[in-house]
Structure 1
Amino acid sequence: MLSRHCILAVFAAVIINFGACKCFVIDSESEFEKSCSSDSMGNRNCSIVVPNNWNFLKFRRWLEKLNGNVKDVRLDLTCLDGGTVFLPWPFRARNLRKIRVKNCLIDGYYSEYNTKTKYTNTVRDMALIDVSILTDINQLIEMNLNDPLEKSSTCGQETNVQFIQRNVSFHFVPTKSPPSLHRLQDGFDTLAEKSKTQPFTCHFEDLLFLEHTGSKSISRIHFDTMTDHSVYPKLKVFNFSSNYLPDLPRQLEQWWKFFPSLRFLDLSNNEIRSFSFDHPDVSLEYLYISLANNNITSVPQDLFSYLSGKTPILINLLGNPIHCDCRVSALSQYLRGLRIIAPHFKDLSNVQCHSPSNLAGRKVRTVNLQSC
């Protein structure tokens, strides 16, 4: 299910930048041996700098040919500027436990999409950082219109404990016949319908940490596809900051239904204007929600009740343009209560007024509201 967000992001992108890419594979088995250290237990730690091009398929075949005990394999790919890796989602290979890709152009990302695989899920730690995914938009539309969904690629690595997507973008191959808006919409609608009716569930039973940050192309149905047929029973940290998110989806308002073990929700540096969170009758030590640096001017009038449930909800509202009229009393009461209930988070109580001008810079909890 996590992988489908990349496809949705392609359809959601407003501006398509077309660029060229040439791929010449220069890796070899001897280079894999040089780049991969091993220990007596059979663990392999592969750290590879890619100046030009690198091919995961060759790496996978090399792992298959290794004799003897091969236990945990860790792969760290860092590309120099212009470096390209051929890397089919969801990066399955013999005993691969960790994969980290940084500063690369990824080619072949969809080359094994919606196809059955002989490889099992083994990855526990996955990270894509500052990467761009090379995409043929016409092939992607055809795939979504005509190919049935396969659990293997739709869900990806269900064994993940940590999954990071940070500053992931798309690089479109040149085409003489770019799709019309109507065809682009058909591809999007077909994928959305498949997501609603898919005949399987993605079980992310071990996922504890999920980061999806720095995206300029979040689909309007992102959270629907993320939760309609997927479960996250142990997810504790969900970082969805810096994604230009304008409104809270219902899945985050009703967080406990979809992420029952959540402890930290980071929605900072978005464009959220208002919020409301359920505070249900479930017992957790607390839920910390960062709404720092959004566009929030006022808060729910029942905000103080967020501290009185079985799971206190601690909200970071620093850096928001709070308007300090009489309605700000709800926030003032909440901030004072937060200092008492969670003194180790007392810095969160230093929220300042942004307007009116005569109160700009004043701490909300110190504003005299007697006249209200």
Structure 2
Amino acid sequence: MWTVYEFCFIFMTFWMITLCVPMKENEPEMEFSLKNPNSAKTNFSITHSRIVEDAQANMMPYQWRHICRIKPVYTCMDSSMVDRVFAMIRNESPICLLCDVRPGYDWDFHELRRFLHNQRDSKSYAIKVRCSKGGNVTLQWPLRAKGLNYISVSKCLLVNYTADYFDNSINNFPDTLVYYSITDCVMYIDVIDFMNVTNNVNKMSKAARCGPEKHLVSSINRNVSYQFKTIPESLIEEVSANISGHTARNYQRGVSVSPITCNYTNLLQIDQSEAKHLGPKHDSVLLQNSDYPVLRLLNLSSTMLTDLPEHLDDWRLYLPRLKLLDLTHNFIKEFKSVMDYGIGSEDPSVGIIDLRYNAITTITLNELKILQNHKFVKVDIRNNPFVCDCAMAEFVHYFQQSTSLAKFGVSGQYKYLLSLKCESPQSLKGRIIADLDQRDLGCATSHPTDNKMYLIVVLAVTTGILVIYVLLTMPQQLKLILSLVKKIKNLGFKPQSHHEQVREAHMIALETSLTSK
């Protein structure tokens, strides 16, 4: 009897022989060449490569086949993504397109929109575009395309950015974007288009006014600048007549009167750092007719701001769940206007207004008192160029008094003030400000607060002397007044009524009593 092993061996041998014959007949390209024994492997690699290329070509616009490739999903992840976006992109595993754009190549967002619109099945896409050596892309705001969930564009020249601003048909395209990032890019703006936008804000489509809205979690426009197209001589007069110092204000007014409202119900992060174009009213445009109920991070660092934005120093009044307002590396000089409205917020945590690396040189007593009442916000003013002179005397005196926890904010978030250091003068650089005394600051021995008390005492004494003088001289003054009244009445004499006679008798009696004194 055959063993099981022998039976299996014979069966497998017979099965292989029957399968190998048709394999040779149906795949002649797999035959080996006597001159090139690796020809079968080479042909197989070419065939496989073509299959892969054809498959990739079916997953992107035809025009992109030379500049874009399908990549593992982690390739399309950015370090700027918040944890929620990372989790979403891992769970969804979208098709990741990595596009490297060089001069001479054409990358147009409209082609992606048409391609995705014509797809029968719904796929999720993540696209990462990188430009080199001056490569440019045609990117039209508001970046709407079916199935586009993530897009990142870096180091590109962006053209035709405003082309869809007044196209209301864009409102009908699905609003699916979760994350977008435009970094280190230059927007190439046609001046005529710019004039059209600023003068017709009220005609802008909702999609253009709000941008990605429904699902957006992160919005990043970092180090984005503008370059204007050269103006033809024939249009210089027209441009000069339509663009003035009021152009930005007109745009803001147009936004303010617009009936369009934007609700960013999922937006957690706004990054507009390293921008050189943010005007003093930027915060008004950002908040006008817009709702950010869950926004956690607003980054306006390195934006050349010289003052605290008017609507952002009211902590959690307009952004009820904000945790960090990053204003570092600007030119802000004071922070006395920061008011804490966190008591009306659902978030009980202490958030941060980060003012490090600005131009704050001194801290006044009024600013200290404002900080003392903060409960839901911490204003971080470390690493500022503090000048340790007499202007800091109130700060030093304040912390040399009895140490009360109230001095450090309701939540104790201002204890770090005790460790602030001088930047100048050179003789005090690096010294802890709270450890200095009046002589270190170059002030008189008396503290400004003592001088104020002296003035108050002098004023009180002077006022008291005047009151005593008035009281002592009152009888003589009253006598003089009564005499003048009597003379005036004699000039206009007429028969007196009984009541007038009685009143005059009382006055004579009063005058007699005063005279006797």
- Normalising by the residue count of structure 1, what TM-score does the alignment of the two structures yield? 0.82
Greater strand share, structure number: 1
1:272 aligns with 2:343: no
**5+ unaligned residues in a row in structure 1: which ranges?**
1-25
Alpha-carbon spacing, 1:214–1:28, altered in 2? closer, same or farther (3 Å): same
1:88 aligns with 2:144: no
Question: What's the offset of the Cα at 1:309?
Answer: 3.8
Q: More deviation in 312-321 or 157-166?
A: 312-321
Separation in 2 of the partners of 1:287 and 1:47? 37
Question: For residue 479 of structure 2, what is the aligned residue in structure 1?
Answer: none
User: Aligned-pair RMSD on alpha carbons?
Assistant: 3.1
Separation in 2 of the partners of 1:36 and 1:162? 22
Question: For residue 175 of structure 2, what is the aligned residue in structure 1?
Answer: 121
Question: For residue 204 of structure 2, what is the aligned residue in structure 1?
Answer: 149
- Cα distance per residue 1:163-196 (max 9 Å; x no partner): 1111101122222134554421264343222112
Alpha-carbon spacing, 1:204–1:309, altered in 2? closer, same or farther (3 Å): same
* 8 Å contact from structure 2 (residues 316, 342) kept in 1: no
Letter in 2 for 1:170: Y
Question: For residue 22 of structure 1, what is the aligned residue in structure 2?
Answer: none
Separation in 2 of the partners of 1:187 and 1:304? 40
Q: More deviation in 176-185 or 85-94?
A: 176-185
Separation in 2 of the partners of 1:332 and 1:27? 70
Question: What's the offset of the Cα at 1:32?
Answer: 7.7
Aligned ranges 1:321-340 → 2 under 5 Å:
321-324=386-389, 325-329=392-396, 337=408
- The one of 289, 293, 296 equivalent to 1:229 is 289
Alpha-carbon spacing, 1:332–1:45, altered in 2? closer, same or farther (3 Å): farther
Question: For residue 430 of structure 2, what is the aligned residue in structure 1?
Answer: 361
* 8 Å contact from structure 1 (residues 208, 237) kept in 2: yes
- The one of 231, 242, 253 equivalent to 1:193 is 253
Separation in 1 of the partners of 2:64 and 2:357? 49
- Cα distance per residue 1:124-169 (max 9 Å; x no partner): 1111100001100122202332461221101111132111111101
Question: What's the offset of the Cα at 1:368?
Answer: 3.6
* 8 Å contact from structure 2 (residues 350, 376) kept in 1: yes
Separation in 2 of the partners of 1:112 and 1:326? 58
* 8 Å contact from structure 2 (residues 210, 262) kept in 1: yes
- The one of 107, 131, 135 equivalent to 2:159 is 107
> Identity rate of aligned residues, in percent?
23
Question: For residue 294 of structure 1, what is the aligned residue in structure 2?
Answer: 358
State the secondary structure of the residue aligned to 1:257: coil
Question: What's the offset of the Cα at 1:299?
Answer: 2.5
* 8 Å contact from structure 1 (residues 206, 234) kept in 2: yes
Letter in 2 for 1:184: I
1:284 aligns with 2:344: no
Separation in 1 of the partners of 2:186 and 2:273? 14
* 8 Å contact from structure 1 (residues 123, 157) kept in 2: yes
- Cα distance per residue 1:204-241 (max 9 Å; x no partner): 11111111111222223211111121111111111101
Alpha-carbon spacing, 1:33–1:280, altered in 2? closer, same or farther (3 Å): closer
State the secondary structure of the residue aligned to 2:182: strand
1:68 aligns with 2:121: yes
Alpha-carbon spacing, 1:267–1:288, altered in 2? closer, same or farther (3 Å): same
Separation in 2 of the partners of 1:189 and 1:146? 13
Letter in 1 for 2:378: I
1:183 aligns with 2:279: no
State the secondary structure of the residue aligned to 1:100: strand
Q: More deviation in 50-59 or 61-70?
A: 61-70
Letter in 2 for 1:341: G
Question: For residue 223 of structure 2, what is the aligned residue in structure 1?
Answer: 167
Letter in 2 for 1:28: Q
Aligned ranges 1:25-104 → 2 under 5 Å:
28=63, 30-31=65-66, 34-35=69-70, 43-52=94-103, 53-70=106-123, 72-104=124-156
Q: More deviation in 127-136 or 316-325?
A: 316-325
Alpha-carbon spacing, 1:275–1:166, altered in 2? closer, same or farther (3 Å): same
* 8 Å contact from structure 1 (residues 123, 160) kept in 2: yes
* 8 Å contact from structure 2 (residues 351, 377) kept in 1: yes
Question: What's the offset of the Cα at 1:300?
Answer: 4.5
Alpha-carbon spacing, 1:209–1:189, altered in 2? closer, same or farther (3 Å): closer
Question: What's the offset of the Cα at 1:314?
Answer: 4.1
Question: What's the offset of the Cα at 1:91?
Answer: 0.8
Letter in 2 for 1:164: I
Separation in 1 of the partners of 2:325 and 2:399? 22
Alpha-carbon spacing, 1:195–1:40, altered in 2? closer, same or farther (3 Å): closer
**5+ unaligned residues in a row in structure 2: which ranges?**
1-60, 74-89, 440-444, 448-517
Separation in 1 of the partners of 2:384 and 2:317? 29
Separation in 1 of the partners of 2:399 and 2:308? 23
Letter in 2 for 1:115: D
Question: What's the offset of the Cα at 1:31?
Answer: 4.5
Alpha-carbon spacing, 1:138–1:253, altered in 2? closer, same or farther (3 Å): same
Letter in 2 for 1:59: L
Alpha-carbon spacing, 1:281–1:265, altered in 2? closer, same or farther (3 Å): closer
Question: What's the offset of the Cα at 1:313?
Answer: 1.6
* 8 Å contact from structure 2 (residues 421, 429) kept in 1: yes
State the secondary structure of the residue aligned to 1:28: helix
Question: What's the offset of the Cα at 1:66?
Answer: 3.1
- Normalising by the residue count of structure 2, what TM-score does the alignment of the two structures yield? 0.60
